[in-house]
């Protein structure tokens, strides 16, 4: 039979510590005690029976003596739990066996084994790293002061089934964990069972980030679509009403409507391209592509924009072919985005340099590195890690004014991932920005 769980009270002040450790119910484990004393009681009963039969003891006296001995066996003589006191040596705990400790130490996630009062019996290195305040033989409630964890420990100790509660670590980086507290029955050396609680921590940060990104994406996409749509319906109202007979206004408004409709179409195109590239991310493109004519085609296509912005495009391309395994359409979009960004956001520098070199990658493997460098205002360092997020813009107003959707670099990153390539962004405010797309060179 399982002993009834002890009750303990959890308070956050230090004085509550003593109360929590003292507040066990000492009589709760009587079935275990009776079982342990069973052999002694049997011998006593036989001796008393022999004395009664031989006429040396009255039956009533023998019965009273037996009851007293049974009562004495049931009384917990150690009412004060020595483990609760720091001055006294701890009571040897059957679950402190090295094998149990080895199992906890070998778990792949942070894990802590607690006794029924919440004291730490075993903890692994991952748990000690996650919550350095957790100490052997001390109450976990004081190390993890989260109210949800404290309440869950109390519920599980009181007989509840497993509980899962959130635990957010704020420093050094924000991590969302889920703490699972599971009741465990460990065998004791007397053949009984001892109640403990297994607390494991599961990192839910990637899941949480993915959920946030999905929510942000839906919100951003709707916002980006709603803005031109609102402009379109506004102009339609105006054309149906006040500007109905105003020919010059009608011409102007139709021009704006055309630009807004193109912006919506471009946004939808970019979204579709992104999802297509994502869908085929696992299939590596295998067409043989020479990057030199491809880069020339991109530069020729963007010449009108370069002229409009008064920017000179300089090239430094090798004489021999630069062959990679790739997808032509995707590579065109990738370089269009990079060169167009240089022309749009780095126009003040007056020139954009496009170069292609052979280099060794981080693991020494040969790469083709295509570099697009501008000499404009550059990008402040705090924005660099987020530039490839969908809809992320350093200056949203400026980007929208230039007709940008904020999806260009997200698409660049996904195309490079599919080509097993890398994107490097280097920038110093005031000294322009360099975007390098590196592609593995296929074997000759």
**Among the residue ranges 21-29, 218-226, 331-339, 384-392, the one whose residues contact Mg ion (CB under 5 A):** 331-339
**139 in Cβ contact with 15 (< 8 Å):** no
Chain mean position to CA 3: 39
Nearest to 183 by CA among 202, 196, 200: 196
**Among the residue ranges 72-80, 167-175, 226-234, 387-395, the one whose residues contact ligand ATP (CB under 6 A):** 387-395
Q: Does 405 bind Mg ion (CB under 5 A)?
A: no
Figure out which of the listed residues 378, 408, 421, 432 binds Mg ion, where binding follows CB under 5 A.
Answer: 408
374 interacts with, out of Mg ion, ligand ATP, none, CB within 5 to 8 A per kind: ligand ATP
199 interacts with, out of Mg ion, ligand ATP, none, CB within 5 to 8 A per kind: none
In whole angstroms, the minimum distance from the beta carbon of 322 to ligand ATP comes to: 23
Q: Does 409 bind ligand ATP (CB under 6 A)?
A: yes
What is the distance between the terminal CA atoms of the chain, rounded to a whole angstrom? Answer: 74
| Six token digits for residue 263 | 């912006």
Q: How many CB atoms lie within 10 A of CB 410?
A: 22
**Does residue 289 sit in helix, strand or coil?**
strand
**Among the residue ranges 14-22, 68-76, 141-149, 388-396, the one whose residues contact ligand ATP (CB under 6 A):** 388-396
∠ CA 316-321-326, rounded to 5°: 100
Q: Could you tell me the CA-to-CA distances from 296 to 1, 11, 289, 318 in Å, in that order?
A: 82, 72, 13, 12
In whole angstroms, the minimum distance from the beta carbon of 407 to Mg ion comes to: 8
**Among the residue ranges 175-183, 256-264, 363-371, 386-394, the one whose residues contact ligand ATP (CB under 6 A):** 386-394
Strand order in the sheet with 351-360: 312-316, 351-360, 366-374, 433-440, 422-427
Q: How many CB atoms lie within 10 A of CB 143?
A: 18
Q: Does 436 bind ligand ATP (CB under 6 A)?
A: no
Chain mean position to CA 128: 19
Q: Which is nearer to Mg ion, 112 or 433 (CB)?
A: 433
User: Read out DSSP for 152-177?
Assistant: HHHHHHTT---EEEEEEE-SSS-EEE
Q: Which residues contact 439 (CB under 8 A, 6 or more apart)?
A: 291, 324, 326, 367, 368, 369, 370, 416, 419, 420, 421
369 interacts with, out of Mg ion, ligand ATP, none, CB within 5 to 8 A per kind: none
Contact string (CB under 6 A) for ligand ATP, positions 291-330, x = contact: ----------------------------------------
Q: Does 376 bind Mg ion (CB under 5 A)?
A: no
406 interacts with, out of ligand ATP, Mg ion, none, CB within 5 to 8 A per kind: ligand ATP
**Among the residue ranges 5-13, 149-157, 164-172, 407-415, the one whose residues contact ligand ATP (CB under 6 A):** 407-415
Q: Does 342 bind ligand ATP (CB under 6 A)?
A: yes
Q: Which is nearer to ligand ATP, 21 or 427 (CB)?
A: 427
**140 in Cβ contact with 199 (< 8 Å):** yes
User: What are the two backbone dihedrals, phi and then psi, of residue 441, each rounded to the nearest 5 degrees?
Assistant: -85, 125
**Among the residue ranges 39-47, 189-197, 305-313, 335-343, the one whose residues contact ligand ATP (CB under 6 A):** 335-343
Q: What one-character DSSP code corresponds to residue 324? A: E
Figure out which of the listed residues 298, 404, 421, 439 binds ligand ATP, where binding follows CB under 6 A.
Answer: 404
113 interacts with, out of Mg ion, ligand ATP, none, CB within 5 to 8 A per kind: none
351 interacts with, out of Mg ion, ligand ATP, none, CB within 5 to 8 A per kind: none
326 interacts with, out of ligand ATP, Mg ion, none, CB within 5 to 8 A per kind: none
Contact string (CB under 6 A) for ligand ATP, positions 343-372, x = contact: --xx--------------------------
Figure out which of the listed residues 21, 141, 200, 341 binds Mg ion, where binding follows CB under 5 A.
Answer: 341
Q: Which is nearer to Mg ion, 337 or 427 (CB)?
A: 337
In whole angstroms, the minimum distance from the beta carbon of 327 to ligand ATP comes to: 19
**13 in Cβ contact with 150 (< 8 Å):** no
The residues with which 163 forms a beta bridge, in sequence order, are: 181
Q: Which helix (H) or strand (E) holds 51?
A: helix 38-53
- Rounded distance, CA 411 to CA 160, Å? 50
- Rounded distance, CA 434 to CA 428, Å? 9
Q: Which residues contact 129 (CB under 8 A, 6 or more apart)?
A: 110
In whole angstroms, the minimum distance from the beta carbon of 424 to Mg ion comes to: 17
Figure out which of the listed residues 123, 387, 416, 437 binds ligand ATP, where binding follows CB under 6 A.
Answer: 387
């Amino acid at each position: 039979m399982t002993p009834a769980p002890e009750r303990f009270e959890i308070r956050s002040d230090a004085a509550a510590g003593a109360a929590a450790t003292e507040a066990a119910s000492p009589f709760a484990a009587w079935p275990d005690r009776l079982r342990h004393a069973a052999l002694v009681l049997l011998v006593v009963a036989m001796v008393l029976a022999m004395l009664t039969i031989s006429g040396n003891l009255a039956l009533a006296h023998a019965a009273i003596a037996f009851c007293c001995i049974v009562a004495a066996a049931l009384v917990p003589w150690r009412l004060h739990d020595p483990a609760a006191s720091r001055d006294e040596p701890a009571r040897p705990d059957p679950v402190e066996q090295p094998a149990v400790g080895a199992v906890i130490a070998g778990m792949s996630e942070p894990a802590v084994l607690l006794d029924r009062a919440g004291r730490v019996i075993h903890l692994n290195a991952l748990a000690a790293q996650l919550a350095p305040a957790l100490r052997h033989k001390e109450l976990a409630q004081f190390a993890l002061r989260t109210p949800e964890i404290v309440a869950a420990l109390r519920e599980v100790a009181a007989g509840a089934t497993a509980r899962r509660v959130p635990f957010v670590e704020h420093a050094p980086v924000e991590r969302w964990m889920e703490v699972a507290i599971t009741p465990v029955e460990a065998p004791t050396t007397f053949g009984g069972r001892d109640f403990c609680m297994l607390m494991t921590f599961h990192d839910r940060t990637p899941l949480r980030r993915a959920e946030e990104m999905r929510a942000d994406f839906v919100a951003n996409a709707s916002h980006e679509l709603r803005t031109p749509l609102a402009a379109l319906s506004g102009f339609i109202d105006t054309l149906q009403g006040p500007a109905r007979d105003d020919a010059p206004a009608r011409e102007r408004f139709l021009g704006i409507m055309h630009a807004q409709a193109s912006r919506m179409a471009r946004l939808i195109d970019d979204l579709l391209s992104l999802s297509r590239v994502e869908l085929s991310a696992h299939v590596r493109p295998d067409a043989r592509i020479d990057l030199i004519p491809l880069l020339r085609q991109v530069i020729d296509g963007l010449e009108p924009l370069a002229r409009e912005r008064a920017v000179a495009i300089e090239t430094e391309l090798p004489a021999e072919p630069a062959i990679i395994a790739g997808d032509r359409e995707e590579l065109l979009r990738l370089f269009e985005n990079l060169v167009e960004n240089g022309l749009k956001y780095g126009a003040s520098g007056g020139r954009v340099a496009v170069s292609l070199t052979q280099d060794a990658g981080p693991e020494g493997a040969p790469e083709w590195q295509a570099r697009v460098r501008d000499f404009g205002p550059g990008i402040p360092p705090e924005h660099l890690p987020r530039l490839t997020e969908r809809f992320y813009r350093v200056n949203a107003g400026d980007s929208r004014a230039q007709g940008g959707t904020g999806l260009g670099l997200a698409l660049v990153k996904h195309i490079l991932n599919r080509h097993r390539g890398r994107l490097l962004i280097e920038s110093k405010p005031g000294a322009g920005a360099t975007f390098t797309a590196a592609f593995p060179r296929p074997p000759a």
